[in-house]
Structure 1
Amino acid sequence: MEEKKDYKSTLNMPNTEFSMKADLKIKEPYFRKIWKDNDIYEKVLEKNKNSTNFILHDGPPYANGSLHTGHALNKIIKDIIIRYKSINNFYTPYIPGWDTHGLPIENKMLNEMNVDHKKISVIDLRKNAAKYALSQIEIQKKQFLKLQMLSDFEKIYKTLDKSYEVKQLKVFKKMCLDGLIYRGLKPVYWSPSSQSALAEAEVEYQEHRSPSIFVKFPVTKGNEIVKKNDNLLIWTTTPWTLIANAGIAINNDFDYSLLKYKNENYIIATKLVDSLTKTFEWKDFEIIKNFKGKDILNIEYLSIVNNNICPVISGHHVTLEAGSGLVHIAPLFGEDDFIIGKKNNLNMIMHINDDGTINESGNEYQNIFYEDANKNIGKWLEENNYLVKLKFIKHQYPHDWRTKKPIIFRGTPQWFVSINKIKDRIINSLKEVKFYSEWGYKRLLTMIQNREDWTISRQRAWGVPIIIFYDENKNVVMKEEIFDYVINLVEKHGTNIWYEKSVDELLPENYRNKNWTKENDIMDVWFDSGTSFLGVDIDGIQPPFDLYFEGSDQYRGWFNSSLINSVAYSNNAPFKELLSHGFVVDEKGRKMSKSLGNGIDPIDIINENGADILRLWAANSEYSNDISISKNIINQTGELYRKFRNTIRFLLSNLYDYKYEKTKLTGINLLIKERLENLKIKVKKFYDDYQFINIVKDINNFVVDLSTFYLSITKDILYVEKPDSKIRREVQFVIYEILDFILISLYPIIPTTCEEAYQFFNKENKKISICLESFYEVNKIEQYQEEEKWKEFFILKNEIYKLIEQSIKSNIIKRSNEAFVTLNTNSDFIKSLNLKMLLMVGKIEFSNENKVNKFDSLKCQRCWNHFEKKEIKNELCIRCNEVLES
């Protein structure tokens, strides 16, 4: 019996050591080490040092706790941008930063030490807080590196560095000397749980249950319209502020009515009579008279809780949207109240301590927490017949975004930045900034337009001190030589010097021994991070920097404070471009929270799946909106990744014997090259516009199309033809170009995978790392010349493929290469094509219909294609015989 010949050894079978299995959790630390050991980041900078700069300035994450998926999304997108810009030959030093001051770090450190902040010296507190913040930076730094970021994290910036604090104080000094910093008594957001003032950016709104009460105040001195013992009716959801009531405001132009109910008279806005009488269930009431608000100005009433005699005044903020049309005024507990109180010289009563308890001004309510006093005050009002109606409402109420507890407006002496003085300059600076959404521009613009003066003082110890002195008469002193003297001390010793030295030791000699005092408040952490444009040293490159990219919450935070400080200091925005991302939510669009148990740890994803999968998820997200993540979504991303990896592997495995050479293309190869060139143009534009989801989508579509058609039809050429045949080298040239494109284009997104594949790629002028490659040149080609020409073929192909599929289902043939296809076409172009190869069929003839049959054939034992018997010799087809003979 004749031995069966082994033709497989004569085929050009795929060959590569690039594994099908990713093993990213093993390979990622390996390549991280290779990049570090070979100083790849420094080499990238060296390669591009004479090129145009592109500086993405890193907004400082807070140095407290492990990373969450929001951190991961932010740093991954930044790294994609940096890697793209660097491979596109921009000079891209990236200096990561950390925000290191503030209450959360102070609290966390105190909790770990189990110490009350009142029982530890300021210096000990500051030293321990600094130590804690630095330990958190080291934890976060290691976690960020697991994201496979290009930066080596050797050079970073920290807001607690002496050099940073000095620059921050220089910004503060300039703002002081330009008249932008002032001290004043004003109601500000006050957090009893933090015992400190808060900036707007530190306030979030949550649902809160509050008492809603209508209270009557008896008139003590009336006029010809309103008489003694008539009642002014007010509404409030903060009964505890009644202790500080100093006036009742009306609107001069509103109509008001005097109502009689059960032998008592009440004054309310005329337009609210119907709704209020229904709320109070007053059925037999009588309207005695109507009058304008201005008619009762300056009448007086008894402020029932504090027993003071107070006036009725005009209020610009009185509306008819809620309440009674009369508004109770407690000047130190609301912004509008304060303005009205100052204008009318009202009594300023401060009855709330820093911790939220009531002081001696609250008489019998002293030492009670302000919210707890609501119940006592309500009970007293009811017992003394002043309470008209009580119910409880749920509404959005401001909370401290760190402690998650309610806050109040409370008048305290604070330091402010006067926004109004530079508001026009800030708004004008935005005209020079490129926004990637109209929404982003409008949001930042509106926030600046509506922004009041910025409260920058905090009553804590861990932060940059407000370096202000008071003279012997308690007047504020702002002199350049004093600022410079202190800043010089900070440059040598750090800001602890402010707390370690006496006042005289902190002053120049001329100002000593005068009984001066110093400010003990620290600066708002947003002032710290908002000076990073100056505080960071990015190879001496000066702002404005090319791009700021952070979460959408930073329009009220870091974008905002950076913009204000930069305009105040250098009269321009600190960024040329502004880009933002949404929040990471679960599969159902819900915010991640411990209570819901829907949080996903990015480090767990990396440990289980690899950072490239997490990076691909980030790139494949519409990040400008909120982004969903779940195990299911990560699994789907894994499928997409495998498709890319398997395609890369196939391309590599068919280039093992190929040396790059410019090749003139024909036929289908020319079409695929044209498609590739057009895709290159699109991908580059998507990168330039930060539209990474479109890059992933278009490359994926290209790969799917490639796999289902071009790579399928060219396998026969790649495996069967003579190794150095013209047709095979033509296909290899195309797949070389495709592989080069895929690795370069996906490198910023999945760097480990592309680096690994690059090591097996016999690339012309190969570098030691793909990181040192250059992005491809975009060649404008005549738009879709080949695509237009081939259109009719693909219409025909789809029809024939359907007929082949039906024939296989009907058991007429087992596979497409057994098919005898008749084609109905008059096209010279189609007739000129190698249709057997392009349609992967056994026999082609032209007739008056499209039809698929089986034909009497033999299978070539080498290429496994089917041929008519006359075309087979010694069990091989003509082509295979020729290849073997050669």
Structure 2
Amino acid sequence: MEEKKDYKNTLLMPETEFSMKANLAEKEVMYNAKWLENQIYQQLLKRNANHESFILHDGPPYANGNIHAGHALNKILKDIIVRFRTMQGFYSPFVPGWDTHGLPIEHKMLSEAKKNAKDFSAVELRKQAAAYALSQVEKQKEQFKRLSLLTDFSEIYVTLDKKFEAKQLKLFQKMLNEGLIYKDLKPIYWSPSSQSALAEAEVEYADHVSPSLYVGFEVSKETEHIKKGDYLLIWTTTPWTLIANSGVAINADFDYVLVKANNKRYVVAKDLLETVAQVAKWEEFEVIANLKGKEILEAKYISPINKMECPVVEGHHVTLENGTGLVHMAPLFGEDDFIIGNKNNLVKIMHVEDDGMLNDKALQFANVFYDDANPLVGKFLEENGLLVAFKKIKHSYPHDWRTHLPIMYRATPQWFVSLKPIKEEIQKALNTVQTYNDWSKKRLALMLENRETWCISRQRTWGVPIIIFYDKNKQPVIDNEIFDYVINLVEQFGSDVWYERSADELLPEKFRNLGFTKETDIMDVWFDSGSTSIGVEPGNVKAPFDLYLEGSDQYRGWFNSSLINSVAWRAKSPFKALLSHGFVLDGKGQKMSKSKGNTIDPLDVVNKYGSDILRLWAANSEYTADVTIDDKILLQTVEIYRKIRNTFKFMLGALSDYDFKDVEVSSIHALMLERINNLETRILNNYEQYRFVNVIKDINNFIIDFSSYYISITKDILYLEKVNNPERRQVQYIFSQLILMLSKALAPILPTTAEDIYTYFNIPLKEISVHMLPFIKGHAFSDDLETKWAPFFELKEEVYRLIEEKIKNQTMKRQNEAHVIINTDSEWIKSLPLTKLLMVAKVSFGNETKVEKLDSVKCLRCWNHFEKNNFDEKLEICNRCKEVINE
């Protein structure tokens, strides 16, 4: 039996060492080492040093604990932007920063040391906290390096740096000089568990069960209708504040009633009577008189616990939403209480210490934790016949975001920034900022619009001290000579100097021995991080910076404090443009938590798949909203990656004998070039708008389409024609253009893969790295060829459908056996090499479009089917293949 002829050696098969298997985890280590060794980042900075700068200023993450998926999303998005701007030629140093002061660091240090704050002197505690913070910076820095960021971390910033602290204190001095900073007794969020004031951004709301009490306050001074021994009925969910009660507020315009129930007479708002009667379980009650709010203002009553005679006052905050229409006032325990208390000279009683314990002013309730006093107060009121009703209610209540324990409103002496004088300037500055959607600017404007003051003092030790001295009469001394002197010391020795030296040692000579004392409070950490546009100059570039990009929680955090501080410092926004991303949730859209076991550790993903997969997930996310991640989503990401990689492998293999000379393209190849140029323009536009999800979508869709059609039809040309066949060179030219364009376009997102592709892309005059290449360019959009070729693709779809039917009903086995008869009047379609473009055996023209099986023989070299007249029966190959072999 005659042996089958083998023509395998006559084929021009693809050849490349670019592997199908990505091995990203290993390759990343290799390429990272190469980038460091060749100082790619520093080379790029040097190359672009005299160009226009583009600074993406890194908002400082907290130096505490391992990085999580949110950190990874944030740093990857930033890195994509820094990389593409750098490739565009901008001078774009990236200086990562860390927030290093504040309670969480102090807490963590103490819990790891298994000690309490009181076990340390202030200086010792600060030294320990600083050491802990810096160890966390090192740990996170090493973890961030695993994300393949375009920075060598040679320049970073930390908020505990003495030069940074000095700049921050210069800002404080300027704000003080301009009358923006003042000290005042004011109710603020106070956390007994942290023993510190909290900013609004440090408050979270959670369900809490509170006692709901309806209490009668006995009238001591009569009015026309209200008699001694009647009761003003109030409602409260914080019984412990009744100890400090010194007034009752009503609304002068509301209608009230005097009602008799259970042989007692109560004053209550008319509209709330039914609800109150229900809660108090009054089976029978009688309205004795209708009153206007104004009349009640003339009454006085005896406060139930402190026994003071107290007035009834007008309150802007009294509503008919719930309660009784009469509101009990404890001026030091509520914002409205405080304002109304000041206006009406109500007595101010502070009966709660910093740790939440009640002091001697709480009388018989002293030495009890404030929350534990609630049942005791309730019992006292009941025993004295003043408790009208009691129930428990579940409601949303403010908690400390770090200890997750309830907080209170409590008036303490604090330092504040007044925003009123610069409100207009802030708004003006915000108007200059570019955002990429309408709601970003609105959201920030709204946050600032509703903010009158900012409490910047904290009762802790670990932070930047508020460098104020008090004279012997306890009055703050505001003197620039003193500030300059202290700031100079901080610049030399760091802010520990405030704790290491006595007041006199910190003062210029002429102020010594005058009995001055030091402020012990530190600054809110948001003031630290809000000062970064003043204290940080990436690559010696000063703010305003080009872009801030952080999580959406930073509208009330870093975006907010940065804008306030920058306007106070330079009357400008610190950012020219603003971008935000959502939170990272699990695959079901739920918050990640260790207790739920649904966390995804970014470093686990990097170890398993490589950072390029994590980066592709980030780029392929609609990051402006919350984004999801789980194993299933990561596997889908791997699939997208695999398709991209395999297409590159094929194209690189096809270029093994290419000479990289420019070629004039025609026919389908010219159409492909038009498509590549249009794709490049779309990708560039999406990069400029930071729409990375569209970059990936467009590339992925293009590659699927390109592989399924163009690569399929060109295999025949690549493998079977002569090396220098002009059409073969056109295909190679198209591949080379696509590889070059896409390796640049993907470099910011997939740095390792792009470098890997470029390593095996044997283009002449290669750069040392793909990242040294200029970025993609835009082209004038053209769809001339797309329009011209549209009829062909309509025809192709119809023909493929007919072939599919034939294969399904087993009239023929494969596409390349088909004889296609086409009904067309188009001379242009008739002029095309349709056999090749449709990948069929024969094309002819008739008065209907149909498909038949061709009576044919199969070429052993190209595996296409031919009629016998186009075939060498002896060699068992087609005439085209015979001609190529003979050459």
Is contact 2:537–2:543 with CA below 8 Å preserved after alignment?
A: no
User: How far apart in 2 are the matches of 1:819 and 1:382?
Assistant: 97
Residue in 2 that maps onto 1:86: 86
CA apart distance, 1:759: 0.4
**1:619-698 alignment runs, 5 A limit:** 619-698=619-698
Secondary structure, in 3 states, of the residue corresponding to 2:13?
Answer: coil
What's the CA shift string for 1:845-884, capped at 9, x where partnerless? 1112222211111111111111101101121212111111
**1:474-513 alignment runs, 5 A limit:** 474-513=474-513
User: How far apart in 2 are the matches of 1:764 and 1:314?
Assistant: 85
Secondary structure, in 3 states, of the residue corresponding to 2:134?
Answer: helix
Residue in 2 that maps onto 1:37: 37
CA apart distance, 1:2: 5.1
Residue in 2 that maps onto 1:440: 440
Residue in 1 that maps onto 2:886: 885
* AA aligned opposite 2:514: K
User: How far apart in 2 are the matches of 1:673 and 1:106?
Assistant: 60
CA apart distance, 1:385: 2.0
Residue in 2 that maps onto 1:124: 124
* AA aligned opposite 2:392: F
Secondary structure, in 3 states, of the residue corresponding to 1:257?
Answer: strand
CA apart distance, 1:282: 2.2
Residue in 2 that maps onto 1:786: 785
CA apart distance, 1:824: 1.5
User: How far apart in 1 are the matches of 2:179 and 2:510?
Assistant: 24
Secondary structure, in 3 states, of the residue corresponding to 2:171?
Answer: helix
* AA aligned opposite 2:573: A
Which one is further off, 52-61 or 250-259? 250-259
Residue in 1 that maps onto 2:175: 175
User: How far apart in 2 are the matches of 1:360 and 1:650?
Assistant: 83
Is contact 2:684–2:777 with CA below 8 Å preserved after alignment?
A: no
Residue in 2 that maps onto 1:571: 571
User: How far apart in 2 are the matches of 1:158 and 1:364?
Assistant: 49
Residue in 2 that maps onto 1:836: 835
* AA aligned opposite 2:840: V
**1:634-783 alignment runs, 5 A limit:** 634-781=634-781, 783=782
Is contact 1:659–1:762 with CA below 8 Å preserved after alignment?
A: no
Number of residue pairs aligned between Structure 1 and Structure 2? 885
Residue in 2 that maps onto 1:517: 517
Is contact 2:683–2:745 with CA below 8 Å preserved after alignment?
A: yes
**1:514-553 alignment runs, 5 A limit:** 514-553=514-553
What's the CA shift string for 1:262-297, capped at 9, x where partnerless? 221111111112222233332321111212212211
Secondary structure, in 3 states, of the residue corresponding to 1:331?
Answer: coil
User: How far apart in 1 are the matches of 2:690 and 2:495?
Assistant: 40
CA apart distance, 1:552: 0.3
CA apart distance, 1:534: 1.1
User: How far apart in 2 are the matches of 1:658 and 1:308?
Assistant: 98
Which one is further off, 280-289 or 196-205? 280-289
Is contact 2:262–2:282 with CA below 8 Å preserved after alignment?
A: no
What's the CA shift string for 1:221-265, capped at 9, x where partnerless? 121121111111111111111111111000111111111112211
Residue in 1 that maps onto 2:808: 809
Secondary structure, in 3 states, of the residue corresponding to 2:851?
Answer: strand
Residue in 1 that maps onto 2:233: 233
* AA aligned opposite 2:391: K
* AA aligned opposite 1:134: L
**1:76-225 alignment runs, 5 A limit:** 76-225=76-225
CA apart distance, 1:3: 4.8
Q: Does 1:350 align with 2:336?
A: no
Which one is further off, 516-525 or 589-598? 589-598
Secondary structure, in 3 states, of the residue corresponding to 2:313?
Answer: strand
Which one is further off, 637-646 or 279-288? 279-288
* AA aligned opposite 1:624: T
* AA aligned opposite 2:200: E
Residue in 2 that maps onto 1:327: 327
* AA aligned opposite 2:173: K
Is contact 2:235–2:324 with CA below 8 Å preserved after alignment?
A: yes
What's the CA shift string for 1:209-232, capped at 9, x where partnerless? 111121111111121121111111
User: How far apart in 1 are the matches of 2:30 and 2:515?
Assistant: 64
Residue in 1 that maps onto 2:361: 361
**1:58-77 alignment runs, 5 A limit:** 58-77=58-77
Residue in 2 that maps onto 1:581: 581
Is contact 2:223–2:298 with CA below 8 Å preserved after alignment?
A: no
Secondary structure, in 3 states, of the residue corresponding to 2:625?
Answer: coil
Is contact 2:192–2:354 with CA below 8 Å preserved after alignment?
A: yes
What's the CA shift string for 1:8-35, capped at 9, x where partnerless? 1111101110101011111111111111
* AA aligned opposite 1:24: L
Residue in 2 that maps onto 1:12: 12
Secondary structure, in 3 states, of the residue corresponding to 2:685?
Answer: helix
What's the CA shift string for 1:155-196, capped at 9, x where partnerless? 100000011101101111100111111111111111111101
Is contact 1:47–1:772 with CA below 8 Å preserved after alignment?
A: no
* AA aligned opposite 2:854: F
CA RMSD of aligned residues (A): 1.1
- 5+ unaligned residues in a row in structure 2: which ranges? none
Residue in 2 that maps onto 1:869: 868
* AA aligned opposite 1:193: S
User: How far apart in 2 are the matches of 1:660 and 1:295?
Assistant: 96
Secondary structure, in 3 states, of the residue corresponding to 2:421?
Answer: coil
CA apart distance, 1:298: 3.9
User: How far apart in 1 are the matches of 2:306 and 2:672?
Assistant: 85
CA apart distance, 1:395: 1.3
Is contact 2:459–2:522 with CA below 8 Å preserved after alignment?
A: yes
Which one is further off, 805-814 or 835-844? 805-814
Is contact 2:651–2:735 with CA below 8 Å preserved after alignment?
A: yes
CA apart distance, 1:306: 2.0
Which one is further off, 522-531 or 220-229? 220-229
* AA aligned opposite 1:395: H
CA apart distance, 1:391: 1.5
User: How far apart in 1 are the matches of 2:848 and 2:830?
Assistant: 15
Q: Does 1:797 align with 2:796?
A: yes
* AA aligned opposite 2:870: E
* AA aligned opposite 1:519: E
What's the CA shift string for 1:702-733, capped at 9, x where partnerless? 00100111111111111111111100000111
Is contact 2:546–2:575 with CA below 8 Å preserved after alignment?
A: yes
Secondary structure, in 3 states, of the residue corresponding to 2:539?
Answer: coil
Is contact 1:225–1:296 with CA below 8 Å preserved after alignment?
A: no
Is contact 1:548–1:579 with CA below 8 Å preserved after alignment?
A: yes
CA apart distance, 1:299: 1.5
* AA aligned opposite 1:447: M
Which one is further off, 803-812 or 460-469? 803-812
Q: Among all aligned residue pairs of Structure 1 and Structure 2, give the percentage whose two residues are the same amino acid.
A: 58
CA apart distance, 1:793: 0.9
CA apart distance, 1:393: 1.5
User: How far apart in 1 are the matches of 2:92 and 2:546?
Assistant: 10
Which one is further off, 222-231 or 699-708? 222-231
CA apart distance, 1:590: 0.9
TM-score normalised per structure 1: 0.99
CA apart distance, 1:322: 1.4
Secondary structure, in 3 states, of the residue corresponding to 1:622?
Answer: coil
CA apart distance, 1:537: 2.4
Residue in 1 that maps onto 2:851: 852
User: How far apart in 2 are the matches of 1:109 and 1:484?
Assistant: 32
* AA aligned opposite 1:41: Y
CA apart distance, 1:828: 1.3
User: How far apart in 2 are the matches of 1:655 and 1:388?
Assistant: 90
Residue in 2 that maps onto 1:295: 295
User: How far apart in 1 are the matches of 2:764 and 2:222?
Assistant: 97
Which one is further off, 756-765 or 103-112? 756-765
Is contact 1:583–1:627 with CA below 8 Å preserved after alignment?
A: yes
What's the CA shift string for 1:773-810, capped at 9, x where partnerless? 111222204x3101111111111111111111111121
What's the CA shift string for 1:604-645, capped at 9, x where partnerless? 111111111111111111000010111111111111111111
